[in-house]
Chains A and B, each alone.
Chain A
Amino acid sequence: MTRVKVKTFSVIRDVLGADVVEIAVSDPATVSEVFNALLRKYGEPFREKIWDPETGEMAPFLMRLNDEMISSKYDMNKQIKNGDEIAVIFPVGGG
């Protein structure tokens, strides 16, 4: 198992209940698997915040994987390792 820290904000943080949560992911671990693990743990309230109900796809957003910026559209198959931190940069948009 690979253990990673997930940092979230605003309404997603409200669902996870803390600024940073740690989650275990089966190997070989990818960013996609992190979200699947979060979905298993936090269920429908988490799905509602991340998955677009019309398309059934994950909403587009950026993430910080350690010091690298990645995106939910292009980088979900990226490998992760034990101790990595993913910050979910969501929601975005302006005033």
Chain B
Amino acid sequence: MAKGFKYGGYIGQILRVNLNNKGISKEPLREDWARDFVGGTGLGARIFYEEVGPKIDPLGPENKLMIMTGPANGTMIPSASRTAVCAKSPYTHSFFHSIFGGYLGPEIKFAGYDGIIFEGKASRPVYVWIDDDRVEIRDAEHLWGKNPFEAQEIIRKEIGDEEIHIATIGVAGEEGAPYAMILCDIRAAGRGGMGSVMGSKNLKAIAVRGTGGVTVPNLLRVYNTALRLNEFVATIPAVKGLSDYGTPRNVAAMNEAGILPTRNWQTEVFKGMKNITGEAMREKVVKGDRACFACSINCTKYSVVPSGPYKSVINGADYETIYGFGSICEVDNIEALCKADELCDHYGIDLISTSLSIAWAMECYEKGIFTKKDTDGIDLRFGNADGMLKMIEKIGKREGLGALLAKGTRDASKIVGRDTIRFAIQNKGLEWPGHTCRPFPAAAVGYATGPRGGSHHDIRPTAEKSGLVDRKVIEGKGALAAEINHWLILCDSMLLCHLGEPIWGPIKISQNTIEALNAVTGWNLNYEQARKIAEREWNMIRCFSAREGFTREDDQLPIRFMEEPIPEGPMKGSYIPKETLERLKNDYYSYRGWDLKTGNPTKEKLIELGLEFAIEDIC
């Protein structure tokens, strides 16, 4: 409500930075868009659709990089720490939102903005320093080539403020590597090549200091809501363990259930599991815990390997590191996984795409498609930690086989041929996280139809994985997937952390989410109204995909999941045959009111949701 904005939780202002001409403008946030799309990803998608035309080059100056906050950011609502980076992805060619935790989003609010839009391209490397109202575009020639942490340290010294929050890219982003990430203090906007978009604009870093606050209509209501939700966080069984062991808390349990992806997803049981669990990590490398803004879970671990070949200091490892470099590459040395994590940060590359690309290459090596001639002499066997680490370095430098793997598994398999696409574990070009869909039909259709492809933040398998719903039933799973989409996108618009899924979901938008949104904004939404916002947001993103030319045919799963059942363990025999997926897609599209042939929203659905402006683009 600062600057006279109608609703609580908002600043009422967007910062626009034109890197072509160094133009800086502060624009009022549209009240109708705030009400219809909330903030974060939803609002980002609406602005993006309006301002960026179809089929642009994602690494061209016409792409825009948007750093978006939400109305809950900067308040005491638990886990409202997230920040959304939105752009057209050079990796998936779809609208992409990569979300990270930490402190940057709240700091942007405190500086006086609901979001920042970077457009154009600077003629030379620059960084942008936002000090409340004062915004400077500064020279960054001296930062170019530095790793993200080095760049952050130099900027902090230059500005003389240890408390600023900084988003930086590494060398991979500078050079346009397809899956380069943005490192925001210690947290990563890892996925979809957002770092490459930033690098394509010659934008090395964004540093922010804010000294303002966020106004809400009734502070006592927000306080009481936050208090109740924090008590919930402290007591809810499914959240326990995150504080003690971080996100790897579930490694052992997942292996026991036969759903720990292993050996490039050839199986889902890992014999070396015991050495890479959250418990093993806590015993061997963890030195402390860290929390994001307004979060009482503190799931981030601070880990140190003090000496030896894997000497490293990281914030992690998170579950995706344990999965990607651990079970997927069959490396059971926790210290080596810490080193792998550190190397990805050093070069500024997404660790999920990096690890899955290496695992794909390991399978090529196993099958004799690659030999030591292809790998520059590296023994790329599954389980060889040193070979894996050497290959991360090669990807980071785009050197030798690393240059091929830096393109990701979809493009690499197109180049190599020989049917290697069958074990490229991606859809829509994005490599998969460590959450299987083979035994879980709702998760399967959620991954297939998700705008980003292999993202566990477009769908969550938790409802089926926990037994909350019957995983074996196919009927109704399209509807379940759609309602999971809705609670996720509403969280991504408020910028709440998905790890609070028992609070915010887990099978549909919860009353807790609606209460938090109403408390900070002063709205009085009921479930149907909140759901309609989320549905509008999801359809908005689908409109962008449709305008880019995506169709039903693009809603696929990795071939392995449609053709190869899990070969062992308690989930033995589980997979999603192609005909089952098509049936699930029909169910999903029907529930959404989308056209069964194209998979696009219909004219009637767009009118119902107030998205009439997209009719001529996609219908």
Which residues of A are found within 8 Å of B278, using beta-carbon distances?
10
Q: Is B307 an interface residue (CB 8 A)?
A: no
* B250 in contact with A93 (CB, 8 Å): yes
| Interface assignment of A2: CB less than 8 Å from any CB of chain B | no
Asked whether any CB of chain A lies closer than 8 Å to the CB of B470, the reply is yes
B204 within 8 A of A: no
Interface segment, A21-29, A31-39, A47-55?
Answer: A47-55
> Are A93 and B570 in contact (CB-based, < 8 A)?
no
A11 sits at the interface (CB 8 A):
yes
- Count residues of A near B (Cβ-Cβ below 8 Å): 35
B95 within 8 A of A: no
Q: Do B237 and A62 have beta carbons less than 8 Å apart? A: no
Q: Are B245 and A10 neighbours in the complex by a CB distance under 8 Å?
A: yes
Complex interface: chain B residues within 8 A of A68 (CB)? 570
Given contacts A10-B252, A60-B467, contact A93 B462 (CB under 8 A): yes
What residues of chain A lie closer than 8 Å to B570, measured between beta carbons?
64, 67-69
Where chain B touches its partner, the secondary structure class is helix
Q: Are the CB atoms of A95 and B319 closer together than 8 Å?
A: yes
Q: A10-B244, A11-B241, A71-B467 are contacts. A94–B257 as well, Cβ < 8 Å?
A: no
Whether A48 pairs with B238 at a CB distance below 8 angstroms is no
User: Is A42 interfacial (CB-CB < 8 Å)?
Assistant: no
Task: Kindly supply a per-residue 1/0 record for chain B positions 454-485, scoring 1 wherever the CB is within 8 Å of any chain A CB and 0 otherwise.
Answer: 00100011100111101000000000000000
Q: Which of A7, A48, A59, A95 contacts B247 (CB 8 A)?
A: A95
Q: Look across to chain B and name the residue whose beta carbon is closest to the beta carbon of A68.
A: B570
Chain A residue contacts of B248, Cβ below 8 A: 95
Minimal beta-carbon separation of A80 from chain B (angstroms): 17
Residues on B with C-beta less than 8 A from A41 are none
Q: Is B402 an interface residue (CB 8 A)?
A: no
CB distance from B470 to the nearest CB of A (A): 7
Contact residues, A1-28 vs B (CB, 8 A) = 7, 9-11, 13-14
B36 CB-CB contact with A under 8 Å: no
From A9, A49, A73, name the one whose CB has the most chain B CB atoms within 10 angstroms. A9
In the bound assembly, the distance between CA atoms of A67 and B468 in angstroms comes to 20
Task: Tell me, rounded to whole Å, the shortest Cβ–Cβ distance linking B217 to chain A.
Answer: 27
Chain B residue with Cβ nearest A70:
B467
B241 touches A50 (CB 8 A): no
CA A7 – CA B247 in complex, angstroms?
20
Pick the contact of B465: A9, A88, A92 (CB < 8 A).
Answer: A92
Q: Which residues of B contact A70 (CB under 8 A)?
A: 467
- Closest Cβ neighbor of B439 among chain A residues: A69
B253 and A10: CB pair below 8 A? Answer: yes
Determine if B52 is an interface residue (Cβ-Cβ < 8 Å). Answer: no
Minimum C-beta distance from A13 to chain B (A):
8
B244 touches A62 (CB 8 A): no
Q: Which residues of B contact A71 (CB under 8 A)?
A: 466-467, 470
- Cβ contact within 8 Å between B470 and A91: no
**Cross-chain contact B250 with A10 (CB below 8 angstroms):** yes
Residue of B nearest to A87 (CB): B256
- The residue of chain B having its C-beta at the shortest distance from the C-beta of A72 within the complex is B467
Indicate if the CB atoms of A91 and B249 lie closer than 8 Å.
yes
**Interface membership of B219, Cβ < 8 A:** no
CB <8 Å contact, A59 and B232: no
- B227 on the interface (CB 8 Å rule)? no
Nearest CB of A to B491, in Å:
14
Q: Which single residue of chain B is at the shortest CB-CB distance from A93?
A: B462
Given the known interface contacts A62-B467, A93-B462, A94-B433, the answer about A48 and B256 at a Cβ–Cβ threshold of 8 Å is: no
Among A49, A62, A74, max chain B CB count under 10 A is at A62
| Known contacts A67-B570, A94-B460, A60 near B256 by CB under 8 Å | no
Pull 17 A–B residue pairs with CB atoms less than 8 Å apart, ordered by A: A9-B252, A10-B279, A11-B244, A49-B240, A53-B235, A59-B238, A61-B467, A70-B467, A87-B256, A88-B253, A91-B239, A91-B253, A93-B238, A94-B247, A94-B434, A94-B462, A95-B248
| 9 closest cross-chain pairs (CB), A and B | A71-B467, A95-B319, A95-B247, A60-B468, A59-B237, A9-B252, A60-B466, A11-B241, A9-B253
- Which residues of A does B touch, CB under 8 Å? 7, 9-11, 13-14, 48-54, 59-62, 64, 67-74, 87-95
Binding site for A on B (CB under 8 A): 232, 235-241, 244-245, 247-250, 252-254, 256-257, 277-279, 318-320, 433-435, 456, 460-462, 465-468, 470, 498-499, 501, 570-571
Known: A10-B241, A92-B465. 11 other contacts (CB 8 A): A7-B256, A9-B252, A49-B240, A59-B236, A60-B467, A87-B257, A89-B257, A94-B433, A94-B435, A95-B248, A95-B320
